[in-house]
Amino acid sequence: MEVIEFRPERDQYTFTFGGVAPVRKIQPGTMLRLWTEDAFCGNIRQVSDLPSAALTMPFVNPQTGPFHVAGAEPGDTLALHFVDLSPARSFGASCTIPLFGGLTSTDRTATLQDPLPERTWIYEVDRARQTVAFQAQATDLRVELPMDPMLGTVGVAPAAGEVRSSLVPDTFGGNMDTPEMRAGATCYLAVNVDGGLFSVGDGHYRQGEGEACGTAVEGAMDVTLIVQLIKGGGPAWPRLETDEHLVVVGSSRPLEDAWRVSQVGMVTWLMELYGLDKMDAYQLLSQTSQAPLANVVDANYSAVTKVPKALLPPAAAYGGMHRQLRETAAAITL
């Protein structure tokens, strides 16, 4: 297996999906060892660093990539298997940002109330204990939380020459902010342009479902992933597969439409896997699905539909690609 290591220089960050030349051309079956910067471009490092002074729009949420996958054509499926996600710094940062977040006035939910104040929290990373520490600012409360690394942003170039901000989730993936995007998961994305042109970034050391204030425990990440190409079968919306679940992510506004997208996506997947008609798949979904939120703060909201594999007959999605990639990863990391 070819292994490629890539750590972008600051001028190699990309802030869009689409409209960017690839940084590397790789073959299917390649393992990538990457470094990704945090959503703040590394500019927030202490509680005195406030977003209004430290961040410059639109240069937030930098991506590592894009990567051109040889042989990938529109209609194909990229399978990205995340072997390992490890914090690359000893701290993570989270902020409240004026006119941004789930529980404040925003530019889209306008009120006459003043925005919530800016504030920054720095989370200490303890690798030995696998924790991140929340420290309250108004009191002495300190809470150690289990580390749960994930990537907020995984996506490909959109169709029709479109260029989208790395802050946006949509059919191409993007800033979905789902905690399901963790080590051990395989993400399936439809290829829209030759080579796919996928990028990853927005590492979170931990995030609650919904990402309520708009930021997780943001941090630079060391990322190891394996890239595979499946000819045909490109899903309408991003799919994930873990050892325990089938997952579909839908992104839209209002939130109920994001939920509907993910539910319809799962109905479609059940039809494909088991040869069900639409109504039988709809009924089975209704009795088996889980529906956690991914984010309710981005330009589009993202909702997740999960079905536990334990409730279903065995089925080999994409020819058993997830199992194959898990076995390959296990052999490599022994």
Tell me if 164 sits within 8 A of 17, measured CB to CB: yes
**Where along the chain do its domains lie?**
3-333
Task: Give me the phi and psi of 313, to 5 degrees please.
Answer: -65, 150
Residue 333, pLDDT score: 59
Asked if pLDDT for residue 20 goes beyond 60, the answer is yes
Asked if pLDDT for residue 126 goes beyond 90, the answer is yes
SS3 at position 319? helix
Query: Residue range 70-99: average pLDDT?
Result: 97
What pLDDT band is residue 144 in, cutting at 50, 70 and 90? very high
Distances (CA, A) of 165 to 63, 168, 205: 11, 6, 22
How large is the angle between the packed helices 255-274 and 278-288, nearest 10 degrees?
Answer: 120
Asked if pLDDT for residue 197 goes beyond 50, the answer is yes
Closest C-alpha to 52, from 42, 62, 44, 63: 44
pLDDT in tens, 270-320: 999 999 999 999 999 999 999 999 999 999 999 999 999 999 999 999 999
Query: Residue range 323-330: average pLDDT?
Result: 96
Q: Of 55-59, 73-77, 218-222, which gets the smallest average pLDDT? A: 55-59
Residue 332, pLDDT score: 85
Tell me if 242 sits within 8 A of 180, measured CB to CB: yes
Task: Give me the phi and psi of 256, to 5 degrees please.
Answer: -65, -30
Selected from 2.40.50.140, 2.60.120.580, 2.60.40.10, 2.30.180.10, the CATH number assigned to the domain covering 3-333 reads 2.60.120.580
Share of the chain above pLDDT 70, in %: 99
Q: Which tokens sit at 213? A: 């204030």
- What mean pLDDT, rounded, does the chain reach? 97
Asked if pLDDT for residue 334 goes beyond 60, the answer is no
What pLDDT band is residue 121 in, cutting at 50, 70 and 90? very high
Compute the distance between CA of residue 141 and CA of residue 227 in angstroms, rounded to an integer.
43
Closest C-alpha to 235, from 245, 249, 251, 255: 249
Q: Of 51-60, 203-212, 231-240, which gets the smallest average pLDDT? A: 51-60
DSSP string, 89-158: SSEEEEEEBTTBSTTS--SSS--SSPPPPPEEEEEEEETTTTEEEEE-SSS--EEEEE---EEEEEE-PP
